Amino acid sequence: MKVLITGGSRGIGKAIANRFEASGYVVVAPSRSEMDLSDATSVKRYIEKNKDEYFEVIVNNAGINDINLLEDITDDEIQRTMQINLIAPIMLLRGFVGKMKEFRYGRIINIGSIWAVVSKDGRCIYSATKNGIHGVTNTLAVELAPYNILVNTVCPGFTLTELTRKNNSPEAISEISKEIPMCRMAEPEEIAEVVFFLGDEKNTYLTGQKITVDGGFSGK
């Protein structure tokens, strides 16, 4: 089986790619030079080039998160965040879902965020896109269920990626971890395990759900 993963070169995306590969899936993770999600023309070109491919699994993982208070958000940030986090995933699903319907099998996982579950200042546009992607999940879960295509959202909480380590001191990570009931951040592999189950053949009925993987943070 073949899985298409965006943002598969690092962090959670890389862990997802590794998990599928470990179970024998053929992983396709386009680089930015192959498909620039910030450029609708580039996305269309990638779809056209690969229009005959049948991806049994699609994971919309790539995303950006520019943190700014409302008055400081630029038009460019709005457009770019919407394009990468919401518009490009919809374009990819529109472009490749036909084969899933033809073969009456597909698994789609959209990666959301804890900030689509709880609120924090400076994340207005990011939260809007992540709530939007779950709206896509909800609608497509109903629309595509007759074709045996299951669609779910996974919302990771604080995750100990390379970027997290780069942007936060060990002391800062320790302080954040104290706010999590599990008293630690997630490992990328823990998020990947949830995504893998949703994308695997063993998932035969779970669809239309927003699954939050945050160590209990959003339940406080």
For residue 105, with 0-12 CB atoms within 10 Å meaning exposed, 13-18 middle and 19 or more buried, which class applies? middle
Q: What is the DSSP letter of 148?
A: T
Contact 117, 209 (CB under 8 A): no
The CA distance from 6 to 74, in Å, is 25
| Among 25, 46, 105, 126, the one annotated catalytic | 126
* Residue 152: φ, ψ to 5°: -140, 160
Output the DSSP codes for 18-50: HHHHHTTPEEE---TTT--TT-HHHHHHHHHHT
126 tagged catalytic: yes
Of 58, 67, 66, 125, give the one whose Cα is nearest residue 90: 58
Q: What is the DSSP letter of 55?
A: -
191 to each of 18, 87, 115, how far by Cα in Å?
12, 23, 16
What burial letters (b/e) apply to 31-48, b meaning 16+ CB within 10 Å? eeeebbbbeeebbeebbe
Does the CA dihedral 10-188-99-23 come out positive or negative? Answer: positive
Catalytic residue set:
126
